Amino acid sequence: MNFSVLHKDAGSGARTGKLVTDHGEIDTPIFMPVGTLGTVKGLFHRDLVEDVKAQIILGNTYHLYLRPGLDVIEKAGGFHKFCSWDRPVLTDSGGYQIFSLAAKRKLTPEGYFFQSHIDGSRHFFSPEKAVDIQRLIGADIIMALDECTPGDAPYDYAAQSLTMTQQWLERGLARFRSTDGLYGYSQSFFPVVQGCVYPELRKQAALYAASLDAQGYAIGGLSVGEPTEVMYQMIETVDPYLPLNKPRYLMGVGTPANILEGIARGIDMFDCVMPTRNGRNGMLFTGKGMINIKNRKWADDLSAIDPEGTSFVDKIYSRAYLRHLFIAGEMLGPQIASLHNLAFYLQLVREAALHIKAGDFTPWKNKMVGQLETRL
């Protein structure tokens, strides 16, 4: 994997770049749709490529490990062939999903013991096993196993957690560097910078991760209950300590406004389930603000879903029709909303790149953030 910074904004940390993998090039800043189980819920890959213009998607190590299982994925020749996706893929380590299991997990210095949410079967992930699984899945970019602490974790717990996460990182990176991919193409390994909401821990984590000379860096443990301004503060805290010539990935974030604020703080890569999950529940994101399409006010609104949208659904379907689909419980409604939202997210990061190149990113971002957070 190669990464190059192409343009920098004079008034912020925003930048454009190009990330090159063996499965294709990625223009940054980029939003990555979440394809947890090898599918972005409700959408065909064709629409992701041609309509959304997705350049990379996420797979989930925890979920793919449990089903269909590693034997099936290996027999298919890796994740790309299994799900017929020929563009880049990033997998997380499974740490966040195990963190979410609460009572069904046990954390030790060796790794995570956990029970499957499907059938209660018992499993174990170590830093080394997380690398081995992601090698077998065949993702272009793989993540280090980490502990994701809650946003309100006490300092002492967060400090202990960070020490263990750094020990796991060292073990995971050693495993990655001592093994090869299984399918004839290169893979890259990203450390995850943790530290909860404590600036000194975040700084320590960023310095340690940067010392490992990895191919990119993820910032984790944010958007897990802490106030939005604290999230921005943590990004600003680690910014001076991460290499400028490597991509930076903010995990699990977020709203359109969060993404623009992240770009302003030097973030290159984003993912989040929000555009699809919220879409399935009738929430549409637009450049003018958010629409709850289930509200009665849209019942006879025959205007296009989003006159400024780039998806084919934005022009040919009306808001009244989309509301009708949701109220009637038709599956097409969540599909249309999900497709619209993802196309909007990708359109937003492309627009951000254009304004970075033009030199007016900051005033454009400030105007857009106000609009994006409006409820229509």
Catalytic residues: 92, 271
> Is residue 123 within 8 Å of 101, Cβ to Cβ?
no
> Is residue 368 within 8 Å of 287, Cβ to Cβ?
yes
Instruction: Kindly tell me the sign of the dihedral angle through the C-alpha atoms of 366, 367, 372, 376.
Output: positive
Residue 68 per-residue DSSP state? T
What's the CA gap between 344 and 338, in Å, rounded? 10
> Is residue 56 within 8 Å of 87, Cβ to Cβ?
yes
Q: Which of 33, 28, 159, 137 shows the shortest CA–CA distance to 93?
A: 137
| Secondary structure element (H or E) that encloses residue 278, with its range | helix 274-280
Count CA atoms within 13 Å of residue 322 on its CB side: 33
Strands (E), the chain: 2-8, 15-21, 24-28, 30-32, 57-60, 89-92, 105-108, 111-115, 122-125, 141-143, 188-190, 192-193, 217-219, 248-250, 269-271, 283-286, 289-292
